[in-house]
Chains A and B, each alone.
Chain A
Amino acid sequence: MTKMTKMTNQVRPQQPTERATGRLSRTRILALVRKELNDFRRNRLIATTMAVMPLLFMIEPVITVFKLPANAPASRLDALVGVATLELMLIPALVPAVVASYAVVGEREQGTLEPVLTTPIRPSEFLLGKALAVFLPALGVAYTMYGVFLAAVGLFAHANVAHDIFEVPRIVAQLLFTPLLALWSIWAAIAVSTRAGDVRVAQQLSSLASLPPLAVTALVGFDVVKPTTTVAVVIGAALLLVDTVAWRLVSAFFHSERLVTGAKPA
């Protein structure tokens, strides 16, 4: 009887997640980031997602804005600028969601998850490496597309349209929301990826999960809330809070047994 009690006592601490002992290893995180980036470049599906999807979401708003006549009524102008900003926001929301949905289920399908998790890498390092590897290129692509959009508008759009788009609070909002939307999408996609049975399902669910925060950023885009820098910063802070909570939650539920088997320990 005492033996039984002892056993259960020894085993119970195994159920919760990793302890926060020691510091994270930068070497391991960077090794993972480098491996991921190498792999993304050679993965046709991911490379296409990273290249084609942002182009589509950038070209659409450029066309929309160019089609606006110089004498368009202010209400019409506002609505179309709203649509254009929303479409641009889809880049940091959807691109990382699709790519990050591979994070766990992709490795599990390939059979690479088990050998990785038998190395000294800690779950939080694995998580951060995976997230960083998606965040960096996604952010780069999203900012580049926004830059191209601004350049196109500045060069070719009617002056009053350009004036509206070049409003400082609008630009601040776009720059601020882009990484925050990407982070949300990444944590949501990784969470989905740990539970999903296959990559396709993970991609679809992650894409859906990436959308809700867009509703908040659209408030500014469509001028529902007057776009001031303060409003942008407040919404940005709220998003940051949500992202942080999402990260902590994903970390807390991140457990090597669940990663390997797709189920938590019985």
Chain B
Amino acid sequence: MERESANTRDQAPPSGPAIVVEGLTKRFGGRTAFADVTLSVEYGEVFGFLGPNGAGKSTTVRTLGTLLAPTSGSATVAGLPLHPANSGEIRRRIAVMPESPGLYPRLSVAENLDFFAGLYELDHRRSRIERSLRAVNLLDRADDPCRSLSKGLRQRVGLARALLSDPRILFLDEPTSGLDPLAAHDVHELIDGLRKRGVTIFLTTHRLAEAEALCDRVGILNTTLRTIGRPDDLRERLFAKTLEVSTRAPLTEPDSVFADLPGVDGWRRGDDAGEHTTYVLTITDADLAAPAVARAVVTGGADLLTLNPSRHSLQEVYLQLVNEDVEAQAR
């Protein structure tokens, strides 16, 4: 068994949240990169950080990674207050994969990783490098100079580098940007594997499906934090729940059919598709409403074709929130 350095998760899990951010703000001169961000991420959680270009995601990651000093507010990272006296110890406990992988083009993949292993003062460097490269499927390219790698392969080297020190908390800034679908899928599996091992992941991404599939919770940033929560909760919070009912022919008296059904608040005609007629019902509880609606439609003498509870994607949540900001700005 390899002896691992002090920053691995083999020790007892630390108490308290992995990241706590309170009213954090960063300005560059007159430009506000992000303002008044408050959030907290538990150990072992995969937290998705979403937002349009220029929203301040990378600047948040840089600030939490001790690279930039916040303008105001406070934060705790890996149990330590964000303060210059703690910078070194915080950086020992976390790993950051920045937006651009930043590799030395003239050095080989293995030399690049070896340099960083030295900066973390890691022992068993060779086996660690091998393990990291295997995790991103790049072991066969270890001796290639980085300049000869494609964009996606460099991205994967950057990811391997972030894994070297076995960090408890991992900041990944758009880890799948520029990756082909298969490679992106591999990264998703890797993240899922890390989560199972209890690694906390702060994941910045523009791929909403990725966030939806991987993240326990997401935050949507647009300079200020617009919302935060589990993807399911965000959907519910933003969109009324609906049930879509389609029948072969129009109901003769829809008002009386849909009246007084349990869990149903109201109804309207939907966009009819082809021969069918569609009704959109506003509901409070799908489990309660769906059977009652089915019975009522059949009793009303219509042929029930489909019955679909609404499923708003995270993308719809995102677009709704960001569009609100665009409209607010236009006013």
Contact = CB atoms under 8 A, between A and B. Distances in A.
B274 to A, nearest CB: 54
Interface string A4-45: 000110110111101101100101101110110011001100
B44 interface: no
B119 A28 contact: yes
A11 B103 contact: no
Contact of A117 (B67, B70, B81): B67
B129 interface: no
Contacts of B107: 35, 38-39, 42
Interface in A82-129: 110-122
B39 to A, nearest CB: 17
Q: Could you tell me the dominant secondary structure of chain A's interface residues? A: helix
A262 B225 CA distance: 28
A260 interface: yes
B239 interface: no
A185 interface: no
Contact of A266 (B28, B91, B118): B28
A120 B88 contact: yes
B118 A31 contact: yes
Task: Name the interface size band of chain B.
Answer: 35 or more
A144 interface: no
B69 interface: yes
Given A114-B67, A266-B27, A27 B118 contact: yes
Contacts of B161: 115
Contacts of A119: 91, 116, 119-120
B111 interface: yes
A260 B70 contact: no
Interface residues of A, number: 44
A204 interface: no
A260 B67 CA distance: 8
A264 to B, nearest CB: 10
Contacts, number: 126
A35 B116 CA distance: 10
Contact of B118 (A28, A113, A263): A28
B236 interface: no
Interface stretch (B92-100, B131-139, B214-222): B92-100
Contacts of B102: 110-115
Interface of B: 23, 27-29, 62, 65-74, 81-85, 87-89, 91-92, 94-96, 98, 100-107, 111, 114-121, 158, 161
23 contacts: A10-B83, A13-B83, A14-B82, A15-B69, A19-B85, A31-B117, A32-B118, A35-B111, A42-B107, A111-B98, A111-B101, A112-B102, A112-B104, A114-B98, A115-B101, A115-B102, A116-B119, A117-B67, A118-B91, A118-B98, A120-B92, A120-B119, A266-B29
Given A8-B72, A18-B87, 19 more contacts: A11-B69, A21-B85, A25-B121, A28-B118, A28-B119, A31-B119, A34-B115, A38-B106, A114-B62, A114-B67, A118-B67, A119-B91, A119-B116, A119-B120, A120-B91, A120-B121, A265-B68, A266-B29, A266-B71
